[in-house]
Chain A
Amino acid sequence: MNANPKRFPVRLNIKKGFVDMSHGAGGRAMAQLIEELFVRHFDNELLRKGNDQAAFDVGGGRMVMSVDGHVISPLFFPGGDIGSLAVHGTVNDVAMSGAKPLYLSAGFILEEGFPLADLDRIVASMGKASRDTGVPVVCGDTKVVERGKGDGVFITTTGVGVVPAGIEISGDLARPGDAVLVSGTLGDHGVAIMSSRENLTFETTIESDSAALHGLVADLVAGVESIHVLRDPTRGGLATTLNEIASQSGVGMQLEEDAIPVRPAVSAACELLGLDPLYVANEGKLVCICPEEHAGRALEIMREHPLGRSAAIIGRVTEDTHGFVQMETGFGGNRVLDWLSSEQLPRIC
């Protein structure tokens, strides 16, 4: 896929053009889209070879692989867009095993009629996120579906990474007595998305927390003697993530509401909409579960990292065959934090 100006005498009209069926048909139009848009933004040696796959050495250790589909609406939101999210989401999923993420692949499903200018903006943002995180996109795929059969653009990314020897981090390793930590304020991403949806316009300064957490994970893995579980509380929020871990590990959890960091603006927006911030999505936060004696060190490391400034110890793992996640409320009572049922829906009055 070496640049060859003669192959495409007329450049792609990124400013005013639209995706059409030919961009996914495998012919010259698709090759041009790949070269003038995707390769331009993702540029790296492996991608430039123009193969349908990328070949690379990974060195020793266990390999980690993860995949994540991104179908967000709106495509552009305060603090990010579908492109940066597609990089961060998969980098984080790989990193939560304690691995160093190495490479990404990207699959695009484009809807006929989607403006090339928007696509260019998304891919540029994705390229920047990939350069910033140091995890290149080394292969990809593009398909076009007819108008009305997609929602602008869907992006699926796959990530691979390698776990350093001796690291064993997994959702089924939480043990009674362990401490539960979060790396920062909860609910920012979900509220930023909701506030920018067209049928719900209220002005807020809340930005999505979308960020790649592999640097923070590397610091934790290097500095904390033993970490049992790492997970990013994305869809379903903290409550659902902790329920997943409780059920995988066969334990319960007891949290303290007052210890859980939530921005006042997020609380206020949730209050207004009848939502619970503990069930709202995050894209730049992690949950860390480790033996109690290491919790202080883990907290220190998190707080030293730019993405963990408001980290907190929020509770502990308990022995509970029912797998209940419970929380002492700020009010002094106790409640169960259940799995999220369906979508969170606002209450009537």
Chain B
Amino acid sequence: MRFVDEFRSRDVAQKLAAGIAEAADTDRDYRLMEFCGGHTHAIFRYGIQDLMPANVRFIHGPGCPVCVLPIGRIDNAIKLARDDEVILCIYGDLLRVPGSRQTSLLKLKATGADVRMVYSTTDALRIARENPGRQVVFFAIGFETTTPATAVALLAAEREGLENFTVFCNHVLTPAAIQNILQSPEVRDIGSVSIDGFLGPSHVSSIIGSKPYEFFAEEYQKPVVIAGFEPLDVMQSALMLIRQLNEGRHEVENEYTRVVTREGNVKAQQLVADVFELRREFEWRGLGFVPYSALRIKSRFAAFDAEERFDVPALRGSDVKGCECPSILRGAARPTDCKLFGTVCTPDNPMGSCMVSSEGACAAYWSYGRFRKAPEEAAA
């Protein structure tokens, strides 16, 4: 497969691994947080940790949109889907995310709710056109990568005057989350979680560019390397971070130059700015309420905003007792630190969001990596 195989070459990986082993100073540790679930997935899927020296460790960050969605928003969606008039359109990952009391949209669908899995906003628009007598709600979720597509859908709905189409907006922002992690007491003061540098988002950065990371690379003195999602990208970026750390630099470097520029996709940014505005704060699973970390739909598009059309109260869902998702999402705990991991919480019966998406640290750890650390527990 062109443009894919080149970035998965075993030979290049071996050379990079040798380069990393040579560059890594054996007298210190390198704790690199990969922000995105896409990176987490690649690290486990290709066994990248196997190719790293023992003192280079990946810390899995909160960059999985499904994982950071607060339970209250899932409960909102479940309530919306209970309305017989509503067709709820969602991306596949969301189906199995547990809401309060272990309900999920998948379980709700089994009881007759009209929940449909879509691959893009165009599918949701089509369903709205085909079902004029029903209310079609698109559950918009994702970081900056998926936001422009939602903006395009809202503009199309306005243009066509699609009266039965609304968006339940849950788009969140990456820089605000990274800043929040860096400001958390665990990282800043207590030092219980030490993060030496970041593998920066790849798809997100294709939209927002590498510029937004410059502030906190400087402010918090942590190097950031924008890293592609292919396994060689991840390894090359790790090497770039190790070099920066060795040299005492803390810059934003761009490994993913084939896609990401400093300015990003200006047209997409403009579209997003036309349609969305900042929320004063938004709840993130694991991080709590983070100021200016999410988007809401501008009043011009209020007619297409599900939060305006339907009753969507602010709900506070609670995590299952013992679930360590919040700490795992901050990089403060590992999946195997959680008592529920692999006992009652498995991908077949997820208790927390990190076990749901294949990008979630727990699911990735369970599917690809558990034999490394704890074969005894995993088999139990």
Measured CB to CB, the residues of A under 8 A from B are: 199-200, 264, 267-268, 271, 273-274, 321-324, 326, 329-336, 338, 341-342, 345-349
Report yes or no: A345 in contact with B95, Cβ–Cβ below 8 A. yes
Q: Which residues of A contact B92 (CB under 8 A)?
A: 345-348
Q: Tell me the minimal C-beta distance from A145 to chain B in angstroms.
A: 17
Cα(A347)–Cα(B367), bound, Å: 15
B91 and chain A: residue at smallest CB distance: A348
Q: Is B311 an interface residue (CB 8 A)?
A: no
Report yes or no: A335 in contact with B117, Cβ–Cβ below 8 A. no
Report yes or no: A346 in contact with B367, Cβ–Cβ below 8 A. no
- Interface window among B45-53, B71-79, B216-224, B288-296: B45-53
Q: Knowing A333-B50, A336-B370 touch, does A349 contact B375 (C-beta < 8 A)?
A: no
Top-4 shortest CB links A-B: A333-B47, A341-B347, A345-B92, A322-B379
In the complex, how many residues of chain B place their beta carbon closer than 8 angstroms to a beta carbon of chain A?
A: 55
Report yes or no: B142 in contact with A349, Cβ–Cβ below 8 A. yes
Which DSSP category, helix, strand, loop or mixed, fits chain B's interface?
Answer: helix
Q: Which residues of B contact A338 (CB under 8 A)?
A: 347, 366-368
Report yes or no: A332 in contact with B14, Cβ–Cβ below 8 A. yes
Cα(A329)–Cα(B10), bound, Å: 9
Which interface residue of A323, A324, A329 has the most chain B CB atoms within 10 A?
A: A329
Q: Knowing A321-B379, A324-B375 touch, does A336 contact B93 (C-beta < 8 A)?
A: no
Report yes or no: A342 in contact with B348, Cβ–Cβ below 8 A. yes
Q: Is B319 an interface residue (CB 8 A)?
A: no
Number of A-B contacts (CB under 8 A): 107
Q: Which residues of B contact A321 (CB under 8 A)?
A: 379
Cα(A324)–Cα(B346), bound, Å: 16
Q: Is B66 an interface residue (CB 8 A)?
A: yes
CB contact between A349 and one of B46, B47, B143, B346 (< 8 Å): that residue: B143
Report yes or no: B141 in contact with A348, Cβ–Cβ below 8 A. yes
Report yes or no: A331 in contact with B357, Cβ–Cβ below 8 A. no
Report yes or no: A335 in contact with B10, Cβ–Cβ below 8 A. no
User: In the complex, given contacts A330-B8, A345-B96, A347-B357, what are 17 additional A-B residue pairs having Cβ atoms less than 8 angstroms apart?
Assistant: A271-B1, A324-B371, A331-B8, A331-B48, A332-B17, A332-B51, A335-B47, A336-B370, A341-B346, A341-B347, A342-B348, A345-B95, A345-B117, A346-B93, A347-B93, A348-B91, A349-B146
A335 and chain B: residue at smallest CB distance: B368
Cα(A68)–Cα(B146), bound, Å: 41
Q: Which residues of A contact B45 (CB under 8 A)?
A: 329, 335
Cα(A314)–Cα(B372), bound, Å: 22
Q: Knowing A338-B366, A348-B141, A349-B143 touch, does A332 contact B47 (C-beta < 8 A)?
A: yes
Q: Which residues of A contact B359 (CB under 8 A)?
A: 347-348
Q: Which residues of B contact A342 (CB under 8 A)?
A: 96, 106, 347-348
Measured CB to CB, the residues of B under 8 A from A are: 1, 4, 8-10, 13-14, 17, 37-38, 41, 44-51, 65-66, 91-96, 106, 116-119, 123, 141-143, 145-146, 203, 231, 346-348, 357-359, 366-371, 375, 378-379
Report yes or no: B119 in contact with A346, Cβ–Cβ below 8 A. yes
Report yes or no: B38 in contact with A349, Cβ–Cβ below 8 A. yes
Cα(A323)–Cα(B118), bound, Å: 36
17 A-B contact pairs sorted by A residue (CB < 8 Å): A199-B119, A199-B123, A264-B1, A324-B375, A332-B17, A332-B51, A333-B49, A335-B45, A341-B347, A341-B367, A345-B93, A346-B91, A347-B357, A347-B359, A348-B93, A348-B142, A349-B203
Cα(A332)–Cα(B375), bound, Å: 21
Cα(A334)–Cα(B94), bound, Å: 28
Report yes or no: B368 in contact with A348, Cβ–Cβ below 8 A. no
Report yes or no: B118 in contact with A199, Cβ–Cβ below 8 A. yes
Report yes or no: B96 in contact with A331, Cβ–Cβ below 8 A. no
Cα(A314)–Cα(B165), bound, Å: 49
Q: Knowing A336-B367, A348-B66, A349-B142 touch, does A331 contact B13 (C-beta < 8 A)?
A: yes
Q: Tell me the minimal C-beta distance from A110 to chain B in angstroms.
A: 23
Cα(A271)–Cα(B160), bound, Å: 33
Q: Tell me the minimal C-beta distance from B192 to chain A in angstroms.
A: 29
Q: Which residues of A contact B51 (CB under 8 A)?
A: 332-333
Cα(A199)–Cα(B347), bound, Å: 26
Q: Which residues of B contact A348 (CB under 8 A)?
A: 65-66, 91-94, 141-142, 146, 357, 359
Report yes or no: B66 in contact with A271, Cβ–Cβ below 8 A. no
Cα(A303)–Cα(B48), bound, Å: 35
